[in-house]
Amino acid sequence: AEFLRLDEQAADGQGGEEPALAQPVLAVVGRPNVGKSTLVNRILGRREAVVQDVPGVTRDRVAYDALWNGRRFTVVDTGGWEPGASGLQGSVAAQAELAMSTSDAVLLVVDATVGATTTDEAVARVLRRSKRPVLLAANKVDDERLLAETASLWSLGLGEPHPVSALHGRSSGDLLDAIVDALPEAPRDLGTTAGGPRRVALVGKPNVGKSSLLNKLTGEERAVVDSVAGTTVDPVDSLVELDGQLWRFVDTAGLRKRVQTASGMEYYASLRTKSAIDAAEVVIVLLDASEPVSEQDLRVVTMVAEAGRALVLAFNKWDLVDDERRHQLDRELDRGLVRVPWAERVNVSALTGRAVRKLAPALRTALQSWDQRVPTGQLNGWLSDLVAATPPPVRGGKQPKILFATQAGIRPPTLVLFTTGFLEAGYRRFVERKFRERFGFKGSPVRINVRVRE
Ligand code: GDP
Ligand code: GDP
C-alpha cells in the first residue's frame, strides 16, 4: 500500500497532455473539531500539520487527489463549509446534503471520545437517505480502551463504525480499504455536470483581476483564508459554489498568496498557467477590458485552444469601459480572436460584481460542447450534403473525395475524415465552420483530423 499525492506528479510536469480522468469523489463531513481535516491529511499521507488548533477557524473548501492501493479518488474536505444563520446542527446537515449531491460516497466523522451527539444524529438522519455509500469513522480512538466506545455508534444507523485515530494513524489503512471498496470505479454521471465538481482554471496576465474575481466568487471567506496563509504548502484547488453547482478551481494557491519573484516572473507565471490549463477541463481566460488586448492575452488564449480545453473569455473591469472603448475593443477582438470565434464571452467586473453570475452558465455551455458527441449517422448525413454542395478543391488535377467521417472523441470533440486525398487547411476550416453552424459546439475547440486512404 502506498500514499501518493497526485498534485505532486502534476507539479513535476508528469501530468501529461490528457486531462486527468474524472475520479470518484469522497466527501468528508462532520461536526467541527471531530478531526475531519486531520483525517483528510492522514488520507493524503501528509506529514505537515495543516490543522489549526483554533476551534471554528474557517478554512477554505478544498479538494485533493488521493491514491490508495492503486485507486485514485478525490477527497473533499468540508471543514470550511461554514455555518450559515441556521445554527450548527442545521449547517452540518446542509453540509451533508451538499456533500451527498456532489460526491460518490460520504464519510461521516464522529468523535468517539464524545459519542454520538444530537448533531451527529441529525446528520446521520440526512445521510441515511443517501443513495450512495456512507461510511462512518469513529475518530480519536487513540488506544484500545476506546474501542468499546465505538460500538455505541451503531445507533447512528449507518452500519459498522470504523475506529481510527487520525492523529496517530491507527487503523487508517483499514478505513481506506473500506473507502476504496465503497467508491464506484467511475464517478457517476460521467460527462454531465451532475458528477463530481468540474475542473476550472482561472488564468490571465498579471493584474487583470484574477485574485479579485476569485475573491468575489468565494465571498467573504477568502479574507479568513488569507489570514491563515501558510496552512497549505502545496498547490491546492478551491471548491467554489456558483449558481447552485460546485466547481473545482484548480491550483488557486498562487492566486491567494501573490508570488513575487523579481526575476523570471513571467516565465514562472507562464509555467503555472500551462499547468493550470492542463489540469482543467474548462478555462476562464481573464482579460482587462479597459486596456488593449495584448500579445500576452492572445498567447494564453492560444494555449487553451491548443491544449484542447473548453474556453470562456471573461472581460474584466467592465466598470471602466465606456462606449468609445467598447467599439475599440470590438475591433481588437475581430482581429485578435480569429482563432477562437467559438469561445464563450462574458463581460464582468470583479470590483462591482457585475455579471459574475453569468460565468456559471458560460462554463456549463462550454463544457456541454466539450462533452458533446454527434452520432456517426447524423454526421455523415450532414457531411454528404455539404460535400455535394461544396466539394473539396481539386489538387494536382485530382478531386479528393471524403468517404466517411466519425467523431472519434470528446474532450475535446475530435472528428476524423477519411478521404482519398489531402484536404487543404482552408477547406478544413470551412468544414469546421459549417460543422459548428449545424451542431453548435459553442465554447469548445473542435479538432479535425484527416486520414488519407490510398
Ligand atoms: P475538523 O474541524 O473536524 O476538521 O477537526 P480538526 O482536524 O481540525 O481537528 C480538531 C482537533 O482534534 C485538533 O486539535 C486535532 O489535533 C484533534 N484530533 C484530530 N484527530 C485526532 C485523533 O485521532 N486523536 C486525538 N486525540 N485528537 C485528534
Ligand atoms: P491578478 O494579478 O490578476 O490577480 O489581479 P488582482 O486581482 O490583484 O487585481 C489587480 C488590480 O485590478 C487591483 O488593483 C484590483 O483592485 C483591480 N481590479 C480587479 N478587478 C477590477 C474590476 O473589475 N474593475 C476595476 N476597476 N478594477 C479591478
SS (H, E, C) 7-64: HHHHHCCCCCCCCCCCCCEEEEECCCCCCHHHHHHHHHCCCCCCCCCCCCCCCCCEEE
Confidence band, pLDDT 50/70/90 cuts, at residue 132 = confident
Q: Which of the residue ranges 63-67, 101-105, 191-195, 335-339 has the most confident prediction, judged by mean pLDDT?
A: 335-339
- 380 annotated as a binding-site residue: no
Q: Whose CA is nearest to atom 11 of ligand 2?
A: 207
3-state secondary structure 85-152: CCHHHHHHHHHHHHHHHHCCEEEEEEECCCCCCHHHHHHHHHHHCCCCCEEEEEECCCCHHHHHHHHH
Query: How much distance in Å is there from the Cα of 38 to the middle of ligand 1?
Result: 6
Mean predicted lDDT score pLDDT of the chain: 79
Write the pLDDT tens digit of every residue in 379-412: 988 998 999 999 999 888 888 888 888 888 899 9
Q: Say which ligand is closest to the CA of 222.
A: 2
Least confident of 41-45, 125-129, 209-213, 347-351: 41-45
What is the structure's pLDDT at 9?
A: 31
Q: Whose CA is nearest to atom 6 of ligand 2?
A: 209
Residue 191 in this model has a pLDDT that exceeds 70: no
Q: Whose CA is nearest to atom 12 of ligand 2?
A: 209
Residue 195 in this model has a pLDDT that exceeds 80: no
Write the pLDDT tens digit of every residue in 251-306: 776 665 444 444 445 555 677 788 889 889 999 999 999 999 999 999 999 999 99
Least confident of 20-29, 67-76, 171-180: 20-29
Report how far apart, in Å, the C-alpha atoms of 134 and of each of 61, 67, 102, 311, 339 are: 20, 19, 13, 36, 47
Within 6 A (CB) of ligand 1 lie 30, 32-38, 51, 53, 79, 139-140, 142, 165-167
Residue 200 in this model has a pLDDT that exceeds 50: yes
Least confident of 13-17, 57-61, 370-374: 13-17
Query: How much distance in Å is there from the Cα of 360 to the middle of ligand 2?
Result: 20
Residue 187 in this model has a pLDDT that exceeds 80: no
Least confident of 110-114, 199-203, 259-263, 433-437: 259-263
- 141 annotated as a binding-site residue: yes
Q: Which of 38, 78, 113, 139 to mutate to test the pocket of ligand 1 (most atoms within 8 A of CB)?
A: 38
Bridge partners, residue 448, by sequence: 415
Average pLDDT of span 186-213: 73
Q: How far apart are the first and last CA of the chain?
A: 51
Average pLDDT of span 200-219: 89
Within 6 A (CB) of ligand 2 lie 204, 206-212, 255, 316-317, 319-320, 349-351
Least confident of 86-90, 99-103, 171-175, 321-325: 86-90
What is the structure's pLDDT at 133?
A: 94
Q: Whose CA is nearest to atom 9 of ligand 2?
A: 209
- 37 annotated as a binding-site residue: yes
Q: Which of the residue ranges 1-15, 375-389, 429-443 has the most confident prediction, judged by mean pLDDT?
A: 429-443
What is the structure's pLDDT at 89?
A: 67
What is the structure's pLDDT at 6?
A: 30
* CA gap 268, 384 in Å, rounded: 48
Using only C-alpha atoms, what is the Rg of the chain?
25
* CA gap 59, 51 in Å, rounded: 9
What is the structure's pLDDT at 217?
A: 86
What is the ipTM score, two decimals?
Answer: 0.58
Average pLDDT of span 87-111: 78
- 131 annotated as a binding-site residue: no
Query: How much distance in Å is there from the Cα of 52 to the middle of ligand 1?
Result: 9
Residue 84 in this model has a pLDDT that exceeds 60: no
What is the structure's pLDDT at 32?
A: 86
What is the structure's pLDDT at 375?
A: 86
Residue 439 in this model has a pLDDT that exceeds 60: yes
Residue 235 in this model has a pLDDT that exceeds 50: no
Q: Whose CA is nearest to atom 26 of ligand 1?
A: 140
Confidence band, pLDDT 50/70/90 cuts, at residue 249 = confident
Cell triple for 393: 478543391
Q: Say which ligand is closest to the CA of 80.
A: 1
Residue 363 in this model has a pLDDT that exceeds 90: yes
Average pLDDT of span 114-130: 91
Size (the chain), residues: 454
Phi, psi of 403 (to 5 degrees): -85, -35
Comparison of pLDDT for 245 and 293, the residue scoring more: 293
238-249 CB burial, b ≥16 within 10 A, e <16: bbbbbeebbbbb
Query: How much distance in Å is there from the Cα of 101 to the middle of ligand 1?
Result: 26
Return the closest-CA partner of residue 432 out of 362, 383, 363: 383
Return the closest-CA partner of residue 441 out of 369, 363, 342, 367: 369
